Chain A
């Protein structure tokens, strides 16, 4: 995730200590991956160096998390740009591993169906977990769970589609194999 842009956005309403930013970040987005404090200070340091935020003071107490930052005009510009620009519609590479596994299984002469069945159950298990979280959770938790559930749902549709075409896919993969043997 674009941690630096998120911190920039959290800083916009008013100047803030690093630890307050981190607390807010974890509250909203930390479900999947809480921030380490070193990461917060490194990121704030970079934003400062790039002129997107300014160090405006140091609160009483010790340690780097006492530094107070404010967003600069350039920072507001960058935040606007980030928010206005649509994200590239793309699938994370980890999801493509599934596609690779199916092809490699078939091309190495292994059955892909049991693999897809196991994957389906793993996905359904995760969806059940998310469903339970959703039931118990507040609105933030619900939307966060929904986000993942809809993506898992899309994976499952792909799994069903692939499972229905395994015989054709196996034939295709073995034909490629035969053609290569002949050309040697």
Chain B
């Protein structure tokens, strides 16, 4: 079955990241409770994307630690971090990060296939999600053959496919008009709530942040308020 067991708490403590001379994170603390939807806001360059990447185990912090429940994930080897990402996390990025050569259906089934789940199960779950996101009739098209909003809905379906603990979204509606954006956000937050996944969502738009349970505001690499 696709049921992933209990959801987990994600906690980043005293996180610091430098890129050469640039201090991107400077002692940021954030805790995401199981099932919580949190928006990260802040001026451009304040470290929002960097924080997301560190929490998601994509980037290693120079200082501080990231825990998923009791497990420290920031100091795992690259391969263990990437398998943890595959298992426990889902991602929705701003622009078409779907695999362009695969159909929407295959894209949505991909996380389950990579996790070694049976083809039939992947099929069932993919069809269910594409239906929820109202792109079932486009399932056999490739990302390049659908609108930006439709592709983004498929990306949401893919992020949810394996019922991850946490879904990370970086400006998930940044490339969409407000109506298409709302459809994506309704689906992302609605399904995440229903299935108990947490969501960490970077956005510079208050209307997007309003979908979250709370907002963390970054300034100069720290949590301002």
Contact = CB atoms under 8 A, between A and B. Distances in A.
Interface residues of A, number: 20
> Which of A123, A128, A130, A163 counts the most B-chain CB atoms under 10 A from its CB?
A128
A114 B217 CA distance: 12
Given A130-B210, A149-B210, A153-B207, A124 B224 contact: no
Interface residues on B, range: 10 to 19
Contact of A127 (B186, B206, B225): B206
A123 to B, nearest CB: 7
A156 interface: yes
B171 to A, nearest CB: 16
B127 to A, nearest CB: 26
A141 to B, nearest CB: 15
A153 to B, nearest CB: 5
Interface string A142-170: 00000001001100100010011000000
Contacts of A127: 206-207, 209-210
Interface string B183-222: 0001000000000000000000111011111010100000
Given A118-B225, A120-B217, A160 B43 contact: yes
Given A117-B224, A118-B225, A124 B43 contact: no
B215 A117 contact: no
> Which of B186, B210, B211 counts the most A-chain CB atoms under 10 A from its CB?
B210
Contacts of A152: 206
Tell me if B's interface is mostly helix, strand, loop or mixed.
loop
Contacts of A118: 225
Nearest to A123: B206
Contact of B225 (A117, A131, A149, A153): A117
A121 interface: yes
B56 to A, nearest CB: 24
A120 B42 CA distance: 11
B211 A156 contact: no
Contacts of A123: 206
> Which of A121, A127, A163 counts the most B-chain CB atoms under 10 A from its CB?
A127
Contacts of A153: 205-207
B181 to A, nearest CB: 13
> Which of B205, B212, B215 counts the most A-chain CB atoms under 10 A from its CB?
B215
A117 B217 contact: yes
A131 B215 contact: no
Interface string A121-145: 1011001101100010000000000
Q: Which 7 A-B pairs have the closest CB atoms?
A: A117-B225, A127-B210, A131-B210, A156-B206, A128-B210, A153-B206, A124-B215
26 contacts: A113-B224, A114-B225, A117-B217, A117-B225, A120-B225, A123-B206, A124-B206, A124-B209, A124-B210, A124-B215, A127-B206, A127-B209, A127-B210, A128-B210, A128-B212, A128-B213, A131-B210, A131-B211, A135-B186, A149-B207, A149-B210, A152-B206, A153-B205, A153-B207, A156-B206, A163-B43
Interface of B: 43, 186, 205-207, 209-213, 215, 217, 224-225
Interface of A: 113-114, 117-118, 120-121, 123-124, 127-128, 130-131, 135, 149, 152-153, 156, 160, 163-164
